[in-house]
Structure 1
Amino acid sequence: MAVAGAEATSPTSLLLFGSLEASPSVFVSGGAKVALDRVDREGFVALANLGAGRRREGALTRDSIVGAVVFGYQWFPEWGVVAAYAGPEGTMDVLSGCSCVQVLPARFGLRLHGEVWARPSDDTLLTATLILGSTRMSAWGRLSWGYRFWGTYLGPELAHYRDETGYAKWNVGLHATDFALGRFSLRLAAGLQMASARRDTAAYVGLTAWTPW
């Protein structure tokens, strides 16, 4: 979930956000961003996030709960927003299949989170997000570029995830970022996903929403 540049017009100190990615695997999450002053100004910020997901791993199904609270700082250069965070994360997994259910012990570790929302010109947006976690030795990253049409940035995106279990996936698709629906700002994405658990490709869709509170 990219949130570094999501608050450009918010005068508040709290931003709520949520996201959903649906494909053969599913992951949903929600959380909040809190600033000491305002979320649209340079300064110290914190992110709290809790998510749940399900994916296939061969003959098994993995259900997961993942949470983190990270603290950091955001900068507002003339061309965009840069943010960096670090803090604790935790995971809990349940494996099922082959007539058995195994609840794995909860694990705790460190998360590093960095984001860039850059506007090379008045009508273009370039975003980069990287999240590293030590509980699963996981890495998730996404790059996107967009050109503004009718107030919304449209363009391609590329995302990749992998962890110590050997599971990995690539998403290649298109996104529409920063369009309004009432008090909410939205990001939609859709495309093809290639995962290590499958030998073919499948469609994915993603939705992210955020709003000042």
Structure 2
Amino acid sequence: MLFGSLDAGAAHFVTLGAKRGLESLDHDGFVALASVGGGRRDESSSGVSRRRYTAGAAAVFGYQWLFDWGVAAIYAGPEITTEIVTDGHGFVPLPCQPGLRLHGEVWARPTEMTLVQATAVAGSARDSLWMRVAGGYRLWGAYLGPEVSAYLDATGYQKWNFGLHGTDFDVGRFSARVSVGLQAESGGRRASPYVALSVWTPW
């Protein structure tokens, strides 16, 4: 499976990647997942202009279980990140940071018409944690419902998204998820709108 995602708001992040079952994604078994991504966020405060640009990659390996109610998977593997900070006087590149990533996810369908999805990704390269939980009811060809996600890292930065999503829209051979809502950040910044888009297709 090939996938890509865009999270656009006060902070932006883009991810591209691939997921491959060593035999098949249609039954229990070992799975490999690789991704690259990058983003930008504003860290300005007290009149000091500061932005952080981040790029990273990860290659994790794990196992997925298929049940009557859905799918659960857990992965682990190396990651690496690099950053550039602008402080009003120019660009300050930071050293590349290698680390370990842990990734777990559940896609559950308690009933034929409902979906519950949860993902958590923790990485030691930036001492970061990202989590998302969403629920949905099948309407108009997709699962529609609320979502909440949170991100934090060792710099003290925190971000929360509260919104609504539509998951499993089919466009030809592609499937998509669209989210809209409010994004709040640490540092006393005002909440602002965000839009997120994820697209995936069989490999």
CA distance in 1, matches of 2:137, 2:118: 15
Pairing 1:167–2:157 present: yes
* Aligned twin of 1:3: none
Kindly state the Cα deviation for residue 198 of structure 1 after the two structures are TM-superposed. Answer: 4.4
Amino acid at match of 1:118: A
Q: In structure 2, the residue corresponding to 1:199 is in which secondary structure?
A: coil
Matching residue within 176, 195, 198 for 2:185: 195
Q: TM-score, normalised by structure 1?
A: 0.92
**Shift of residue 200 of structure 1?**
1.2
Q: Mapping of 1:44-55 within 5 angstroms? A: 44-55=30-41
**Residue of structure 1 equivalent to 2:78:** 88
1:110 to 86, 90, 100: 100
| d(CA) in 2 for partners of 1:153, 1:30 | 23
2:141 is the alignment partner of 1:151: yes
Q: Tell me which residue corresponds to 1:38.
A: 24
RMSD: 0.8
Query: Which position in structure 2 is the counterpart of 1:208?
Result: 198
Kindly tell me the number of residue pairs found equivalent between the two proteins. 199
Please list every run of 5 or more consecutive structure 1 residues that lacks an aligned counterpart in the other structure: 1-14
Give the Cα separation in 1 of the matches to 2:87 and 2:200. 36
CA distance in 2, matches of 1:130, 1:147: 22
Contact 1:56 1:197 in 2 (8 A): no
Q: List 4+ stretches of structure 1 deviating above 6 A.
A: none
Shift, 1:163, TM fit: 0.2
What is the CA–CA distance in structure 1 between the aligned matches of 2:163 and 2:141, rounded to whole Å?
20
1:26-75 Cα deviation digits (max 9, x unpaired):
10010000111111221000000000100011221111101100000000
Q: Conserved in 2, the CA contact under 8 Å of 1:22 and 1:204?
A: yes
User: Which residue pairs with 1:97 in the alignment?
Assistant: 87
What do the CA deviations read for 1:120-179 (whole angstroms, capped 9, x no partner)?
Answer: 111000000000000111000000000001320000000000000011011000000001
Task: Look up the equivalent residue of 1:18 and give its one-letter code.
Answer: G
Amino acid at match of 1:75: W
- Give 5+ residue unaligned stretches, structure 2: none
Whole-angstrom CA distance in 2 between matches of 1:40 and 1:174: 29
Task: Tell me which amino acid in the other structure corresponds to 2:41.
Answer: R
SS of match in other structure, 2:95: coil
Structure 1 contact 172–191 (Cα < 8 Å) conserved: yes
Q: Which amino acid aligns with 1:85?
A: Y
1:177 aligns with 2:167: yes
Q: Of 113, 116, 126, which aligns to 1:126?
A: 116
Deviates most, 196-205 or 159-168: 196-205
Tell me which amino acid in the other structure corresponds to 2:153.
D
Deviation, 1:191, is 0.0
1:150 maps to amino acid:
W
Q: Distance in 2 between matches of 1:105 and 1:143?
A: 33
Whole-angstrom distance in 2 between the partners of 1:142 and 1:69: 20
Amino acid at match of 2:8: A
State how far apart, in whole Å, the 2-side matches of 1:92 and 1:139 are: 17
Which whole-Å CA distance do the structure 2 matches of 1:47 and 1:89 have between them?
12
